[in-house]
């Protein structure tokens, strides 16, 4: 039996930066850590990669376990592997960012885990290098969202242009002209206007839209230039 003799072995984990949008602000979902060290401190959702699963599998499993949600938009970010990042034992962690419809999770209430949404700009200090992970995830979210129509993943099936507008402003941390935004987002051809209006936000009401799934699936990898003058 051949072996890779004497090579060191490490723990491999996944950590998920879960983004949501409450209609006003960008939020992240954090949990109270359930094991030592740093037990009961706030941290990202994470877990070890099991013997029979890939890191992607592990990330999906962790999300399912902690939120009850499946089929979540999940994207591998990078690996965090500085030798000293976990004080107990060498652990490398694969960072993922996830986009979920915040209302789906709120409805879920599978609170065996103490999970809580925090404003992205007003969150507790996290364990280990999780603060860095959040910063990296935010940057990557902005980058990706400027080119690909992924922010829909944080909105309900039916959404309005003003909702989208606020979400884009939140993610990019900047003001965007309504007229130009509306033109740009409708010109993608990805939106289907519905007859119904959302009347909760104003007297006039805003028309609901839904995603054109066919075009979305066909074009999710295309460059859309949703934020042309973005500097990262």
Partner DNA sequence: ATTATTAATTGTCAAAAAGACAATTAATAA
Partner DNA sequence: TTATTAATTGTCTTTTTGACAATTAATAAT
Give the residue numbers marked as catalytic. 114
* 117 closest CA partner among 39, 23, 22: 22
Which residue stretch of 15-23, 29-37, 61-69, 204-212 sits at the interface with DNA (rule: CB under 7 A)? 204-212
**Minimum CB–partner distance for residue 5 and its own copies (Å):** 10
Which residue stretch of 7-15, 110-118, 127-135, 172-180 sits at the interface with DNA (rule: CB under 7 A)? 172-180
Question: Does 135 contact its own copies by CB under 8 A?
Answer: no
Question: Does 156 contact DNA by CB under 7 A?
Answer: no
Q: Which is nearer to DNA, 32 or 183 (CB)?
A: 183
Annotate 94-159 with three-state secondary structure.
Answer: EEEEEECCHHHHHHHCCCCCCEEEEECCECCCCCCCHHHHHHHHHHHHHHHHHHCCCHHHHCCCCE
Q: Which is nearer to its own copies, 82 or 111 (CB)?
A: 82
d(C-alpha 136, C-alpha 17), whole Å: 10
Question: Does 200 contact its own copies by CB under 8 A?
Answer: no
Q: Which of 24, 34, 37, 192 binds its own copies (CB under 8 A)?
A: 37
Q: Which is nearer to its own copies, 89 or 122 (CB)?
A: 89
Question: Does 48 contact its own copies by CB under 8 A?
Answer: yes
Q: Which of 7, 109, 204, 214 binds its own copies (CB under 8 A)?
A: 7
Question: Does 161 contact DNA by CB under 7 A?
Answer: yes
Question: Does 185 contact DNA by CB under 7 A?
Answer: no
Contact pattern from residue 65 through residue 104 relative to its own copies, giving x for each residue in contact according to CB under 8 A and a dash for the rest: -----------x-xx-xxx----xxxxx-x----------
* 115 closest CA partner among 154, 74, 61, 67: 67
């Amino acid at each position: 039996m051949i072996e890779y003799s004497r090579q060191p072995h490490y723990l491999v984990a996944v950590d998920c930066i879960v983004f949501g949008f409450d209609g006003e602000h960008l939020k992240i979902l954090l949990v109270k850590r359930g094991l030592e060290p740093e037990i009961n401190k706030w941290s990202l959702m994470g877990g070890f990669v099991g013997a029979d699963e890939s890191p992607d599998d592990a990330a999906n499993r962790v999300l399912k376990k902690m939120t009850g949600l499946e089929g979540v938009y999940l994207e591998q970010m990078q690996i965090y592997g500085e030798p000293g990042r976990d004080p107990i034992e060498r652990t490398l962690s694969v960072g993922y960012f996830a986009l979920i419809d915040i209302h789906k999770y709120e409805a879920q209430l599978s609170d065996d885990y103490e999970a809580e949404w925090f404003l992205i700009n007003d969150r507790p200090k996290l364990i280990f290098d999780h603060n860095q992970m959040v910063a990296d995830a935010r940057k990557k979210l902005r980058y990706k969202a400027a080119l690909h129509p992924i922010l829909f993943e944080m909105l309900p099936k039916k959404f309005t242009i003003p909702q989208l507008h606020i979400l884009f402003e939140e993610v990019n941390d900047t003001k965007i002209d309504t007229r130009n935004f509306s033109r740009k987002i409708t010109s993608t051809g990805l939106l289907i206007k519905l007859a119904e209006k959302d009347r909760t936000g104003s007297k006039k009401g805003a028309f609901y839209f839904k995603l054109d799934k066919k075009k979305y699936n066909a074009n999710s990898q295309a460059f859309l230039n949703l934020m042309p003058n973005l500097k990262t």
